[in-house]
Structure 1
Amino acid sequence: MEFGIYLRRETTYPKMLELALTAEKLGFHSAYLNDHVHGVGKPEDEYMEAWTAMTGIGVQTTKLRIGQIVLFNSLRNPAFLAKSIATLDQMTNGRYELMIGAGWNIPEYEGYDLMEGGRGMPSAKERVDRFEEAVQIIQSMLNNEKTSFDGKFWKLKEAINIPQPIQKPMRMSVGCGKPRMMNITAKYANGINLGGNFTKLQILINQFSEIAKKYGKTLSDYYISGFTNFNLTTTEDDAKEIAKPIAERTKTTIDEVLNENYIGNAQNIVDKIRRVKDMGVDMTVLILPYPSTKDHQTIEYFHDNVMTQI
């Protein structure tokens, strides 16, 4: 299995870059920021804009793949986004990792008036309708120098995208978990990004496998990635302390939380990664604790004690 690193645990660009460069040195597959304009839990905290920040990370690294986990579809015109993707792929010599989702955060829709005219956040149906058009536009523009498209929300007349991206074809992964989004993913994309505990992850993979069959495909036709918290501990008591608030919030037991999540010592984490790898997951993006004040919570410790054992 490959591993990506989530950079948002840092708040300043220099610290994000430092973490990305460390990940590159250690052989990580990729680095990501979520594509939000402010934090969800603490919206007034410092929050770097993801496209600009990851462009900087991309040009200051040489091997690490870079991207957003996942692109917020409503933030950008899809044709312009495709142009930006192709440009960044050129600038990074083919290292852009495309992940995209439909969008869901009401305060961002309202605060930035993303739909214009004070509309707020559209219904789930409209957001997915827009997403379905957007992925078709992006796919076409990343594979053709000119694209015309006659949709409900966007109408393109020979939109030009030159130069094309270096990656041909470029992998597109969709962050999703509901049937209609999975159908769009199976039809138009070649990757899927999933979250949740191990049982939920297996359920989602099984659901997607069945949906893919409708399009004459199997799981092997898609790049399957995960995105989740990693909590490395050195004692059982520490693991239980981390699991306790999760158990209270989810109305489950501490043991269930420990069994279903990446919480435990290095060997425990290795065993769980092997379990997830056997489900068919190709890459997992790590969210490590912030701040990492303990040696066993750092990216270096993860590399030395977990990555080298997989």
Structure 2
Amino acid sequence: MRTLAQRADEGPWESLWVYDHFHTVPVVSEEATHEAWTLMAAFAAVTDRIRLGQMCTSMGYRNPAYLAKVAATVDHVSGGRVEMGIGGGWYEHEWRAYGYGFPAIADRLGALDEGVQIMKQAWETGTATLAGTHFQVDGAIVRPLPVQAGGIPIWVAGGGEKKTLRTVAKYADYANWASNPTEFAHKREILARHGEAVGRDISEIVLSANFNTVVGVDDADVARRLDAIEARVAPFLGDRLDAFMHDYRSGVALVGTPAQVIERLRAMADVGMTYAIHYFPELAYDRSGAQLFETEVIPALS
């Protein structure tokens, strides 16, 4: 993982992202799953340029004042390169296994809103106080402040139209949604309405999307890569294998030749996406797909 981070740091990538999960997804197994913020600190220490984020941290896993302190510390380790990806959390098995229960979605999203308020206050002023429904902090000191002036950029992940997008409109620097152009355009419209309601121009908010990405030099190479991915995950997914691979084989995931991938990404740019985060499922054992993306896709879109 260190060599992958350093390779990304040397290349054309803007940022490097990790998951905040304690268990493997979509099926629980005993395969290694490292803790996200420990990885963030490790990557901060062995890279020089690339920005570092999590897509995304679950607000329910850490007290937000504590999380603000952790993130500020990692920002110093990195020299000011941290991004805060934050969401309400969804993986029920993981929540219950670690003793967090599994609050109703309204409670998880309410906690997300309060937690973001606490973090912004901590990073802007050095202290945080909030007597909320979900969190109560009273003079929590977060110093030193982050290296980044004004605090760490906040990415609010999720497209819940009543609550999550309202939180985005009020507090976020970035939004993060699914990679379907029709759905993305719809979320953008809803966000604009929330922006009007809270008095914020959503042009201030960067709109991003996540992609599960497989790139091959031609159709045969793409098919070979998908077969290799399926063979590797089959022992762990059991009866979930077909559902997992369906996204890769049906056009939901970003799969194809460089020309096909470029066309898909341009279609997303047409509906307002300006930042794309890519998960390469091969990357632990085969870097050639990511390298093809670097040499053919990124230059075409720069």
Do these two structures clear the TM 0.5 threshold for a shared fold by scoring above it? yes
The one of 86, 92, 110 equivalent to 1:100 is 86
**Equivalent position SS for 1:99:** strand
Deviation at 1:207, TM superposition (A): 2.3
| Distance (whole Å) between structure 1 residues aligned to residue 170 and residue 3 of structure 2 | 38
Would the aligned equivalents of 1:234 and 1:296 in 2 still touch at CA under 8 Å? no
1:16-55, aligned counterparts within 5 Å?
16-40=1-25, 41-55=27-41
Q: Which residue of 1 aligns with 2:137?
A: 156
Q: Which amino acid aligns with 1:48?
A: H
Would the aligned equivalents of 2:65 and 2:128 in 1 still touch at CA under 8 Å? no
Deviation at 1:281, TM superposition (A): 1.6
Q: Deviations over 1:212-252 (max 9, x none)?
A: 22222333110222111112133335657859x9xx859x9
* CA separation of 1:139 and 1:253: change in aligned 2, threshold 3 A: closer
Would the aligned equivalents of 2:216 and 2:292 in 1 still touch at CA under 8 Å? no
Q: How big is the alpha-carbon RMSD for the aligned residues of Structure 1 and Structure 2?
A: 2.6
Q: Which amino acid aligns with 1:121?
A: F
1:178-189, aligned counterparts within 5 Å?
178-179=160-161, 180-189=163-172
Q: Deviations over 1:79-127 (max 9, x none)?
A: 011111111111111100111001111111111102xxxxx21111111
| Distance (whole Å) between structure 1 residues aligned to residue 196 and residue 133 of structure 2 | 28
Moved more, 173-182 or 34-43: 34-43
Deviation at 1:253, TM superposition (A): 11
More helix by percentage: 2
| Distance (whole Å) between structure 1 residues aligned to residue 248 and residue 22 of structure 2 | 34
Would the aligned equivalents of 2:208 and 2:274 in 1 still touch at CA under 8 Å? yes
| Distance (whole Å) between structure 1 residues aligned to residue 5 and residue 285 of structure 2 | 18
Q: Deviations over 1:171-195 (max 9, x none)?
A: 2110111111111111122211112
| Distance (whole Å) between structure 1 residues aligned to residue 298 and residue 179 of structure 2 | 21
Q: Which residue of 1 aligns with 2:281?
A: 289
Would the aligned equivalents of 1:39 and 1:47 in 2 still touch at CA under 8 Å? yes
| Distance (whole Å) between structure 2 residues aligned to residue 192 and residue 142 of structure 1 | 20
The one of 292, 295, 301 equivalent to 1:301 is 292
* CA separation of 1:192 and 1:295: change in aligned 2, threshold 3 A: closer
Moved more, 234-243 or 72-81: 234-243
Task: Give the TM-score of the pair, scaled to structure 2.
Answer: 0.85
Q: Which amino acid aligns with 1:37?
A: F
1:1-310, aligned counterparts within 5 Å?
16-40=1-25, 41-114=27-100, 120-169=101-150, 170-179=152-161, 180-236=163-219, 249=243, 257-258=250-251, 261-290=253-282, 296-297=288-289, 299-310=290-301
| Distance (whole Å) between structure 2 residues aligned to residue 134 and residue 89 of structure 1 | 19
* CA separation of 1:237 and 1:205: change in aligned 2, threshold 3 A: farther
| Distance (whole Å) between structure 2 residues aligned to residue 215 and residue 106 of structure 1 | 32
Q: Could you tell me which runs of 5 or more consecutive residues in structure 1 were left unpaired when the two chains were aligned.
A: 1-15, 115-119
| Distance (whole Å) between structure 2 residues aligned to residue 253 and residue 22 of structure 1 | 28
| Distance (whole Å) between structure 1 residues aligned to residue 106 and residue 285 of structure 2 | 43
Q: Which residue of 1 aligns with 2:238?
A: none
| Distance (whole Å) between structure 2 residues aligned to residue 131 and residue 64 of structure 1 | 27
* CA separation of 1:159 and 1:284: change in aligned 2, threshold 3 A: same
Instruction: Indicate the structure whose relative CO is greater, using CA pairs within 8 Å and at least 6 residues apart.
Output: 1
| Distance (whole Å) between structure 1 residues aligned to residue 165 and residue 35 of structure 2 | 27
**Equivalent position SS for 1:306:** helix
| Distance (whole Å) between structure 2 residues aligned to residue 261 and residue 83 of structure 1 | 36
Would the aligned equivalents of 1:240 and 1:254 in 2 still touch at CA under 8 Å? no
Would the aligned equivalents of 1:26 and 1:300 in 2 still touch at CA under 8 Å? no
Task: Give the TM-score of the pair, scaled to structure 1.
Answer: 0.83
Aligned length: 284
| Distance (whole Å) between structure 2 residues aligned to residue 132 and residue 52 of structure 1 | 24
| Distance (whole Å) between structure 2 residues aligned to residue 210 and residue 191 of structure 1 | 16
Q: Which amino acid aligns with 2:108?
A: R
Deviation at 1:293, TM superposition (A): 5.9
**Equivalent position SS for 1:214:** helix
Q: Could you tell me which runs of 5 or more consecutive residues in structure 2 were left unpaired when the two chains were aligned.
A: 231-241
Identity %: 25
